[in-house]
Structure 1
């Protein structure tokens, strides 16, 4: 039987060598984001234009930040008592309300979306205030978080009292404060850096959620087609693209960025963290692009907006992977830099295809994209087996 309430305790020590894994509560919490990501993807599918992508991005950021906030609190202070579980379920309910309001989140549903976000962040502020009262060493960081996140939540709450487009201006101001609060914490991150095995696993699980949307997209796109050769091959290529991204990302998922923060290299840790935002947003958009391609006319040139959506989503994905590689230990500094260069090169090639591939058929486009993605796996595999002993630690 769980305790009704336990004082928060610091859970970042790794002196005993113990690995931490996601709790059942954290996995349950992630389920609501499966729904939110699906709703975001559905909205982008209905609005694949530049304006639609902008709306998608504006709404995606607070959704991802909601997950990040709860995850970082849990990795440092989670006690898994009854009260913590209840608060988590309340946050899940508010996030579900965000999902309900996504389709009109830039219109009349923006009030509901904003209030849902305020509830999620308000609970987080309370949790940090309580943690600071019981853990003296964490108090400088928790007080900073409580003040910054509290101010941002207040701005979001006040935004419901003003009209559009001023409301969205206040959202942007609130998000700037939200992001600036941890960015400006400096060496405080290193003093109580998150657990080096628990946090990467949590980010990996969220990445799996958005990659799952790509699988759903391939299946959904094929379900709308007759079982013709071109559609089947394009579907297989779509799975190859998703698998390639999974391969490259998870082969480099470790806690080295967090260990860098403990050594005072906070910038490396923050690059790793914030590069995940464009990564997961672009993976969601990539799934939408693949579904639109696979469900369309396979014998005609792909519409420009669909080509741009798919190619640029993949380009952003690989650019984000490049920054993640720069902040991750790949066996040597030289190897990390080489991996980053390979991912940036892929991003440039994908952008060129978006720009120049105006007359490509869907199948030809998928061949080109899959070839680039698979080549990244080959390069990664080749590079990992050719690290010279003298390069280790460079």
Structure 2
């Protein structure tokens, strides 16, 4: 085999220029996702330690920044099939920057900010270089790679400057940089989305979203297990143990309703605003999943008859409502599935309304009642569609059998 055809030395190629380019995620991308397990866990810890409006704002802002860094790198890997040695070394460098970002999160409000912002700037610079490299190698003959690389190089400078500014100017400049990234994608006429070759492998991106969703939702298990282990599993009473089991089941259902109704779903078309909606809806879905995971740690802090901790309830109810709203949003942007016949918008709206209503009831009722209401909002999202689907599809199957018998 000629050396340039071997994956270890083959130059990056736009997927449109590759015959039979597959949508499967490469192991390098999976390994890059692995560091986000730590980032999400530490972000959840940060929110647990700062359960107030200011703390939530910082948590949400950092989550969005980290998510966009992950997503921009994923877009490159979706556009360009790149597996050579240099690409692997660049991806390993991005993993290191993510490690530094993760380690900075517990102290991000003070001395940790310098390290987070500088690591983020280097991460953005590496993403820019990935695109620049394709342009330099002649892989991309249009302006796509040069435009993207220029944008990320300039924004890397902005993020680096924010590392040295005093509060609140550091956060303000950093936020401006995050907003600018998205505008540079979406602005009419000059945005990257206007480039004809900016067509990621939609199946590949759908799989990346699904894999990250597993990581994000799975953090709920971390919170529950670590909280219980710190208390001592042998010390808790049966009520707390029952709450713990309920929390684990809730985490499972969050994944269930995603994968049955929207997981690995491709957008219904390639129109700009369909792709943007699909993209942003996944961001809010994952933000909500982390909120729910943090809130479920409260299950181990209370028995049946005390009110559920109010701050945890606020995060959990708002998180579930946002999760279901984002799920509905994604459902509207992807290709229609059989399951969509039964998971109707009214069911999603019922869950959203009940999740919000539960928050106002929680302070006045035992945790057992709060869990029952919140659990109904969640479990109804799978119980009702599955029940309806079974009844309707069974009836349709019976009618089809009867029709076949009559035709003979």
Asked whether the two chains share a fold, i.e. TM above 0.5, the reply is yes
Following superposition, the deviation at residue 187 of structure 1 comes to: 5.3
The equivalent residue for 2:183 is 180
The equivalent residue for 1:229 is 238
Asked if 1 retains the 8 angstrom alpha-carbon contact of 2:292 and 2:316, the reply is: yes
The equivalent residue for 2:266 is 256
Number of matched pairs: 382
Cα distance in 1 between the residues matched to 2:302 and 2:155: 42
Q: Secondary structure at the match of 1:181?
A: helix
Asked if 2 retains the 8 angstrom alpha-carbon contact of 1:254 and 1:328, the reply is: no
Q: How big is each residue's C-alpha offset from its partner over 1:361-391, in whole Å with a ceiling of 9 and x where there is no partner?
A: 22322222222211100233356565899xx
Q: What are structure 1's unaligned runs of at least 5 residues?
A: 390-394
Asked if 2 retains the 8 angstrom alpha-carbon contact of 1:149 and 1:177, the reply is: no
Following superposition, the deviation at residue 14 of structure 1 comes to: 9.1
The equivalent residue for 1:392 is none
Rate the CA distance shift 1:233–1:296 in 2: closer, same or farther, 3 A: closer
Cα distance in 1 between the residues matched to 2:381 and 2:195: 33
Q: Secondary structure at the match of 1:101?
A: helix
Cα distance in 2 between the residues matched to 1:189 and 1:243: 40
Q: How big is each residue's C-alpha offset from its partner over 1:258-287, in whole Å with a ceiling of 9 and x where there is no partner?
A: x511xxx22112111111111111211211
1:108-257 counterparts in 2 under 5 A?
108-133=111-136, 134-136=138-140, 139-184=142-187, 185=191, 188=194, 191-223=197-229, 224=231, 226-251=235-260, 252-257=262-267
Cα distance in 2 between the residues matched to 1:13 and 1:228: 62
Cα distance in 1 between the residues matched to 2:371 and 2:228: 14
Query: Which of the pair has more CA radius of gyration?
Result: 2
Asked if 2 retains the 8 angstrom alpha-carbon contact of 1:190 and 1:266, the reply is: no
1:7 is aligned, of 8, 11, 27, to 11
Rate the CA distance shift 1:3–1:288 in 2: closer, same or farther, 3 A: same
Following superposition, the deviation at residue 190 of structure 1 comes to: 6.3
Cα distance in 2 between the residues matched to 1:140 and 1:87: 22
1:1-394 counterparts in 2 under 5 A?
5-12=9-16, 16=20, 19-133=22-136, 134-136=138-140, 139-184=142-187, 185=191, 188=194, 191-223=197-229, 224=231, 226-251=235-260, 252-257=262-267, 260-261=269-270, 265-331=271-337, 335=341, 339-382=344-387, 386=392
Q: What are structure 2's unaligned runs of at least 5 residues?
A: 397-408
Rate the CA distance shift 1:208–1:152 in 2: closer, same or farther, 3 A: same
Asked if 1 retains the 8 angstrom alpha-carbon contact of 2:210 and 2:264, the reply is: no
Deviates more, 1:52-61 or 1:376-385: 376-385
- The structure showing larger relative contact order (alpha-carbon pairs under 8 Å, at least 6 residues apart) is 1
Following superposition, the deviation at residue 245 of structure 1 comes to: 1.5
Rate the CA distance shift 1:193–1:155 in 2: closer, same or farther, 3 A: same
Instruction: Compute the RMSD of aligned alpha carbons.
Output: 2.7
Rate the CA distance shift 1:349–1:31 in 2: closer, same or farther, 3 A: same
Q: How big is each residue's C-alpha offset from its partner over 1:306-353, in whole Å with a ceiling of 9 and x where there is no partner?
A: 2111111111111111111111223389849x6344323322221121
Question: TM-score when scaled to structure 1?
Answer: 0.88
